[in-house]
Amino acid sequence: MSFHYKHRVYFPKLTFLLIITWVFVSCNVGKQKENVETFRTKLENIQESGVLKVAVDNNSTDYFVYRGKPMGFKYDLLQELAKDLGVKPEFIVCENLYESFDGLINDEFDLIAKNLTITKRLGKKIDFTIPIAQTNQVLVQRLIQPEKSDSGFVYSTLELAGKKVFVQKESHYQQRLMNLSKEIGGQIEVVEDSVLDAEKLIELVAKGEIDYTVCDEHVARINKTYYSNLDVSLKVSFPQNIAWAVKIESEGWEEYINNWISEFKKTNKYKYLYHKYFVSQWSAYRLKSGFHSINGGNLSVYDTIVKRFSNKYNWDWRLISSIIYQESRFNHRADSWVGAYGLMQIMPNTAKSLGVKNYKDTKQNIEGGILMLNWLNKRFSETIPDSAQRIRFVLASYNIGLGHVLDAQRLADKYGKDRHTWDDNVDYFLLNKSKKKFYKDSVVHYGYCQGEQAYNYVNKIITNYNHYLNVFSE
C-alpha cells in the first residue's frame, strides 16, 4: 500500500513539472522563432523593396556634392553596402538627431549612418552597430590673437570651467561636456543648438560669432584647412568608438550590417576611401573650392544662367543642372560624334525647329534644351498627370527620341502593363527594345534602339537630382 501511495503522489508531480518545462521551452522556442521571422522580414523587406533608406549628415567628409558629383566617405561606404545587399541606397539628409531617431523607430529609415558615439544613454533608444571608426572629441576655438591680452584661448580642459560651449542638440558632444564638468570640478555652460550641426557651429567659431564648440577630431581637422584661424589641438575625450544605428530588436538586420562592416574594414577599398576623405590633400582642396556644396558653393559656373531660364519656363534649376551634368559634365564645348553640342547637347536640326539661332552660344544652348523639354512635357501632360512619372518619360525622350518611348508605351499596353507608368512598366520595354522579340513586334513603329542607354540615363539624372535636392536650396 505504501508503495502504491508514494507512486501515486510522485508521478503527478513529475508529470506536472515535465509539462511546465515543456510549455516554458516551447514558448521560448516559439518566441525565438517569431523573432527570427521578424528579423528576417526586416532584411527581406529591404531587399524586396530594392531600396535602403539611410539618414545621413550633409557635411564636408561624409556626404556632399562636388562639381555636380555626389561624394563622401559615408556616401561611398553606403554604395558598397547597398551593392552587397543588391539594392539602391536612398540618402535622406536629417541634421536633427531627434528626428533621425524618431525616423528610425517609425521605419522611415532603415539605418542611421552618422558619427554616433556609443553610449548607454543613446543605447536606450537605438541599437548601435559595431564601430565603423574611432575618434577623439576636440575643442574648436580661434587661434591666439597677439594683439589681445585676454583672447579667451583655452590651453587645458580645466580652463573650460565657466566657459560657454555650443554643441548640436542631443549629440554625444553634449554628454561628454556634462561628464567633463564633473571631472574638472567646474561647471561648463553647454548650449545645445537644435538647428545647426557640428560644421555650421565650427563656421560660427571661425567668424567670431561664438567662441567654442566641440566636434570629432577628423571633422575639425578637415574644417581647419578651410578656416585657417582655428585651433583644434585640445582633446576633450579619450578615443571613442563611432558607430551607425538600427532600430532596437533588429538583430537579424543588425547582424548583417555588423558582418559587412567587419569584413569591409579589412579591405583595401576601405583603406583607400579613408585616405581619400581624411588624409589626402584633395579633401582640403575640394573644401576650399567654390563648387563644394557645404560652403554654399555652386554646382557649376553656369548656375546663374540655369536658374534664370529654369525660372522663366517653370523648371527646377536642380533638375536642369542634373540633365546638364549627365549630358556634358558642365563642359560648354562638349561635342558628340552625332553632332550634338554644348551643355544640353542640342542637335542642329532640333535647334532650328525650336527657333534657336545659335545653339553653340551657351545661353541659347541652355534655353534650347529647356524648350525641348517643354515640348516633350506638353506631349505627355494630358495622358500622364503624375509629374514624377511624366518627367521620366520626358527625360527618356530627350535622350533617345520620342518615337522609341511611344513604342515602349505601345508594347506595355500589349503586354498588360500600364502605359502611363514608367517604373516597372514602360521602362522595362524600352530597356529591352534592343531584343528582336520587341523591336520586331507589329506595334513598334521605330524599330531597334539601345534602350539600356536611355534607361540608365533616366535613373542617373533622377538619382543626382535627388542628391541636389538634399544639399542645394531653391
| CATH (domain of 149) | 3.40.190.10
Within a 10 A sphere around the Cβ of 217, how many other Cβ atoms?
Answer: 19
DSSP state of 335: B
Residue pair 244/114 in contact (Cβ under 8 Å)? The answer is yes
Verify that 116 and 257 share a domain, yes or no. Answer: yes
Place of cell 548601435: 128
Q: Helices 317-328 and 362-381 sit at what angle, rounded to 10 degrees?
A: 110
Residue 2 lies in a domain: no
Per the structure, the complete domain to which residue 438 belongs is given by 303-471
Could you tell me if residue 27 is inside a domain?
no
Are 262 and 130 in contact by the 8 Å Cβ rule? The answer is yes
Question: Residue 469: what residue type?
Answer: L
Residue in the structure block whose three cell numbers are 554625444 = 172
Query: For residue 3, is it within any domain?
Result: no
Of 220, 238, 256, which one is at a domain's C-terminal end?
Answer: 238
* Residue 234 cell numbers, joined: 585640445
Judge whether 203 lies within some domain. yes
Are 327 and 273 part of one and the same domain?
no
The confidence score (pLDDT) of residue 35 equals 43
What is the domain-level CATH number for residue 395?
1.10.530.10
Q: Which of 188, 209, 238 is the last residue of a domain?
A: 238
Query: DSSP string spanning 27-57?
Result: HHHHHHHHHHHHHHHHHHHHHHHTEEEEEE-
Query: What secondary structure letter does DSSP report for 227?
Result: -
Q: How far apart are CA 344 and CA 362, in angstroms?
A: 9
Q: Report if residue 393 sits inside a domain.
A: yes
Please check whether residues 189 and 171 belong to one and the same domain.
yes
CB contact set of 390 (below 8 Å; sequence gap of 6+): 377, 380, 381, 384
pLDDT score of 40: 54
Residues near 12 by beta carbon (within 8 Å), at least 6 away in sequence: none
DSSP code of residue 160? G
Catalytic residues: 327
Residue among 107, 103, 129 at smallest CA distance from 116: 129
Domains contained in the chain, number: 3
**Residues 290 and 325 reside in one and the same domain:** no
Nearest CA among 95, 88, 122, 84 for reference residue 245? 122
328 in a domain, yes or no?
yes
Pull the grid cell for residue 163. Answer: 566657459
Q: Which residues contact 227 (CB under 8 A, 6 or more apart)?
A: 202, 203, 205, 206
- Whether residue 232 sits in one domain with residue 330: no
Same domain (yes/no): 312, 421: yes
Which residue, of 297, 314, 341, is where some domain finishes?
A: 297
pLDDT averages per 10-residue partition of the chain, 474 residues: 34 43 44 43 87 94 95 97 97 89 95 89 89 94 73 92 92 90 96 88 95 94 90 95 92 93 97 90 81 85 98 98 98 95 97 96 98 98 96 98 98 98 97 97 97 97 97 91
Shared domain for 93 and 116, answered yes or no, is yes
Distance of CA 101 to the CA centre of its chain: 16
Query: Do 98 and 197 sit in the same domain of this protein?
Result: no
Indicate the pTM of the whole model: 0.83
